[in-house]
Amino acid sequence: MKKCIINGVIITMDDSRNIIEDGFVMIDGNKICEIGKMSDLKASGDAELIDADGGIVMPGFVNCHTHISMSVFRGLGEDMPDRLRRYMFPMEDEILDERMVRIGARLSLIELIQGGVTTFCDMYYFEDEVAKAVKDFGMRAVLGETILSKPSPDSSEPYGGIEYAKRFISKWKGDSLITPAFAPHAPYTCDDNHLMEIRRLADELGVPITMHLSEMLHEMEEFDSKYGRTPIRHLEDMGFLSEKLIAAHLVYVDDEDIMVLKRNGVGAAHNVVANAKSGRKVSPAPAMHKAGMKVGLGTDGPMSGNHQDVLSLLGYYTKIQKQAALDNRICSAAEAVELGTMGGARVLGMADEIGSIEKGKKADIIIIDTSAPNIQPVYDYYSAIVYAAHPHNVVMTMVDGKVLMSGRKLMAMDEKKVLEEVSEVSKEIRTFAMELDRRARS
């Protein structure tokens, strides 16, 4: 069964950044089979027509780093110093269960799809629940089970996440939409021996690894005093780095770190809004991109970045980077769109399959309604996407050739039912949070 998106401005994000005004995209099954101008569209036969109505038709966004199930905790413990260790870890250790992970994942999936995200990379506990939700919604994702040196919500043993991940990977490996992965939390929460065991297993099983890296000041100080070098240099000497690593944050990196990451093929998930919110240094993401590294954008979890869509990150990315550099030439609007689409595809090792609208690629496509007052008039398409559009301007989201959202309505999911479940579970969380708040602030 074919589908044809007609009457759109096709922002392809291919190598030459081709834009086709008044164009169409033909989809056969889950793949793009033809792109062209409306005047060249031959009789589309029995293809189902999707009218873009003059809007922007572009590749779906790729969110390279998040913890989607944390949406049930969104807004808790804001502005607390050392929030990860004083608030988030105790919250997860004491009340997080499979049900919360499932409900949180479903809530975030609605937000992601409505915001035009078609692929994301997740790291959390009970990741099998996330995978089932992703499958129900029809999204594409890299899903990593978190591994920690302490007992965690789904494991009574330190590093129990390794065994969970092995089971999880054997269950989901080969799935058309889900790429299972290992997710050691960070080099400061996993020791060298376990990191190398994970690297060996990831090679053996042919799966990616995703990990927070060079994100915390205490992490940098710890590696400096223990080894006299940065975590990135330490991990390279150890033989841990590879093109299979999706590294989140990379805030505290110097020029030599960038060369090390580049020569090892490590992908960077730049979490511009979450980093700004937590008062960290601005990551040198444009320098990484310029050096030829794979760079994409991530929201981080809904406690850190609060929202999950990538569209809102684009403007923050250019504005924060320009301000930090005191130079408006450091990154362009088109580069921001590239990082949010093709860049993310490269980081996740999916550049041959997604990230652009090209013949033979998977049909992960969105439509942005440009007739809205907050976007009109449109003189420059990249500017319209990066500086004017909001997630609510996304009116169609397609993943793998399937329409998941049209006219802001989810096709296969009852949004109201999900929100009722969220409301129910939030009562329990609120009670516990009040107690935790007292403890954390005392």
| Strand, coil or helix: 147 | strand
We find the least distance from the C-beta atom of residue 213 to Zn ion, in angstroms, to be: 10
In the complex, which residue's CB is closest to Zn ion? 300
Which range binds Zn ion by CB under 5 A, 50-58, 294-302, 327-335, 400-408?
294-302
Position 128 contacts Zn ion (CB under 5 A): no
We find the least distance from the C-beta atom of residue 380 to Zn ion, in angstroms, to be: 33
We find the least distance from the C-beta atom of residue 137 to Zn ion, in angstroms, to be: 21
CA distance 429 to 107: 15
Which range binds Zn ion by CB under 5 A, 222-230, 293-301, 330-338, 417-425?
293-301
We find the least distance from the C-beta atom of residue 212 to Zn ion, in angstroms, to be: 5
Helices 415-441 and 98-114, axial angle in degrees (round to 10): 120
State which residue, 80 or 410, has the beta carbon closest to Zn ion.
Answer: 80
| Total binding residues toward Zn ion, as defined by CB under 5 A | 1
- Count of C-beta atoms within a 10 Å radius of residue 205: 15
Give the bridge partners for 31, in sequence order: 28, 362
State which residue, 129 or 300, has the beta carbon closest to Zn ion.
Answer: 300
At 423, list the tokens: 């409301």
We find the least distance from the C-beta atom of residue 322 to Zn ion, in angstroms, to be: 25
Q: Any long-range contacts for 401-410 (C-beta under 8 Å, 24+ apart)?
A: 401/3, 401/27, 401/28, 401/29, 401/30, 401/31, 401/362, 401/363, 402/30, 402/138, 403/3, 403/50, 404/113, 404/137, 404/138, 404/139, 405/113, 405/114, 406/50, 408/114, 410/110, 410/113, 410/114, 410/137
Q: How many residues does the chain have?
A: 442
Task: Give me the amino acid identity at 162.
Answer: I
Who's near 73: CB < 8 A, 6+ residues apart? 88, 91, 104, 302, 303, 429
We find the least distance from the C-beta atom of residue 69 to Zn ion, in angstroms, to be: 12
| Strand, coil or helix: 67 | coil
State which residue, 4 or 303, has the beta carbon closest to Zn ion.
Answer: 303
Q: For the segment 171-190, give every residue that binds Zn ion (CB under 5 A).
A: none
Q: For the segment 296-355, give every residue that binds Zn ion (CB under 5 A).
A: 300
We find the least distance from the C-beta atom of residue 306 to Zn ion, in angstroms, to be: 13
CA-CA-CA-CA dihedral for 430, 433, 438, 442, to nearest 10: -160
Which range binds Zn ion by CB under 5 A, 84-92, 152-160, 275-283, 292-300?
292-300
Burial 251-287 (b: 16+ CB within 10 A, else e): bbbeeebbebbeebebbbbbbbbbbebbebebbbbbb
We find the least distance from the C-beta atom of residue 47 to Zn ion, in angstroms, to be: 41
We find the least distance from the C-beta atom of residue 123 to Zn ion, in angstroms, to be: 6
State which residue, 66 or 370, has the beta carbon closest to Zn ion.
Answer: 66
State which residue, 27 or 268, has the beta carbon closest to Zn ion.
Answer: 268
Angle at 103 between CA 100 and CA 104, to 5 degrees: 80
Residues that bind Zn ion (CB under 5 A): 300
